[in-house]
Structure 1
Amino acid sequence: MDQKLAAALVEDDAGMHADDRRTCWTHQCWAEDCADDPMHTRPSALY
């Protein structure tokens, strides 16, 4: 993980509203890198 991503994760975890996050809490990556993941697009399909 690069330092820029690590810093963004810490900043986003410090109380940022979920709609405003730039990072994915679940996957620990940039939000756009996993935006199409079924966990995000169809969470009910996982259960």
Structure 2
Amino acid sequence: TWNVLFYSYAVPGIDKRYIEEGLTIAAETMSEFGQGSIEGVEIF
């Protein structure tokens, strides 16, 4: 699989730090087991 995109939606009031931490953990896990790399984690 190439170019995986994680998409998440949080309700207002949830600190973006928690979303970023969770998505980063997911990306790191996939890159470790899939021997890939992380292009970046962006929260808008």
Q: Which has the higher contact order (CA 8 A, sep 6+)?
A: 2
Q: Which has the higher helix share?
A: 1
Please give the TM-score of this superposition, normalised by the length of structure 1.
0.34
Structure with a larger share of its residues in strand: 1
TM-score (structure 2 length as normaliser): 0.36
